[in-house]
Amino acid sequence: MTKKLRFLLLFVFFAPYILFAGNPDRQGEAGAYELVLNPWARSAGLHGINIGSISGVEAMRINPAGIGRINSTEILFAQTRYLIGTDINLNAGGFAKKMGKNGALGLSLMAVDFGDIRVTTTDQPEGTGVTYSPSFFNIGLGYSHSFEKVSVGVLLRVVTESTSDISSTGAAIDAGVQYVTGPKDNIKFGIAIRNIGTPMKFGGPGIAAQSPISKEGSEYNLTYSVRGAVYELPSLLNIGLSVKSYLAPKHTITIDGGFVANSFAQDAVGIGVEYGFNEMFMLRGGYKYEIAKKDSRIEGSVDNGPSAGVSIDVPLKRKDAADILGEATTEIETETKTPPRIGIDYAYKLTSYFGGIHSFSIRLNF
């Protein structure tokens, strides 16, 4: 057994014990839940359970070991309309670049746009005429390295949440492994731990309290400093397996299965299927099911259920397009380096409340 394989097995067996030393009674007690939201359309169409096969910029949200599974450079921009009717949008951008033969560096950022929220008071419950918008922002810097069949990755993420008079800042680490095997490298296994980091708490003048006091016949307000409650990050463990089948030249079917163990939410299992034609057109669908205990009073997340998506990749050079659309060969070839291309992705996730989740991405891969 090679050292790389021993490392992978140790990671698989001991990561759950490192991450889940708590108890299920803590469900719902974490904060910064924007860290578990996925703004990228391609993986959103599979409900994010493609843990073993995820690659490039999107890997920084699911499994950082896949950052380096790109040609050379990938640039990605995305917007997600989260829970249609709430006016919440997720705006994201990312960049991944090969570093030498086996390394890759990635940078991603995501901002949550809540729109304009009315300021209300007890005297003016309908609004004072003033609005505000919270600022939720996180940025991640990741690195992955490949050892033949095994890739490992780590990512450091900084998260901030604030309004005009209160704020909270924290940091988290993600780490993951991907293992590729099979006769044509068509079987991929992945495992990742995410959002392991510092506790957060809000502070600032916005949480101060005033109380009237009387002294020597005079009454005035005294301002008290209030300590914000500490909250944990939504740590979780991702485990996934991907199997790609070559139905015929230029036609593929990929089946992904995944398990998500949450420290502060219900565990979930998922399955996804993706059809690909000539690496130019992909149609996918997935389903996520949250495992609730019999005595649990906690409802599942709003996006628990089916998802679907589509991708179109267009080569940037005419000669590449001509080669790709040429006569099909009788021999099924293994995955090779693809030509530079631009891609458009769309995904929809059905939600139990509001009007669902729509995700759009545009990528440049060269």
* Domain extents in the chain: 3-198+234-365
Please tell me the pTM assigned to this model.
0.85
**pLDDT higher than threshold 50 for residue 137:** yes
- Summarize the chain as % helix, strand, coil (round to 5): 15, 50, 35
Distance, CA of 238 to CA of 63 (rounded, Å): 8
Q: What is the DSSP-derived secondary structure letter of residue 231?
A: B
Instruction: Write out pLDDT tens, residues 179-208.
Output: 999 888 899 999 999 999 999 999 988 888
Of residues 42, 72, 23, the one with CA closest to residue 338: 72
Map 12-41 to HEC letters. HHHHHHHHCCCCHHHCCCCCCHHHHCCCCH
Tell me how far the alpha carbon of residue 166 is from its chain's centroid: 26
Residue 20: predicted pLDDT:
45
Q: Is the domain 3-198+234-365 a CATH 2.40.420.20 member?
A: no
Higher pLDDT, 125 or 158: 158
For the stretch 320-350, pLDDT in tens is 444 544 444 433 334 446 678 999 999 999 9
Does residue 265 contact residue 300 with C-beta atoms inside 8 Å?
Answer: no
Tens of pLDDT, residue by residue over 292-326, are 766 666 667 788 899 999 999 998 876 544 454 44
pLDDT in tens, 5-29: 454 444 444 454 444 444 556 777 8
Q: Is 49 a residue whose pLDDT tops 90?
A: yes
Q: What is the mean pLDDT of the chain?
A: 86
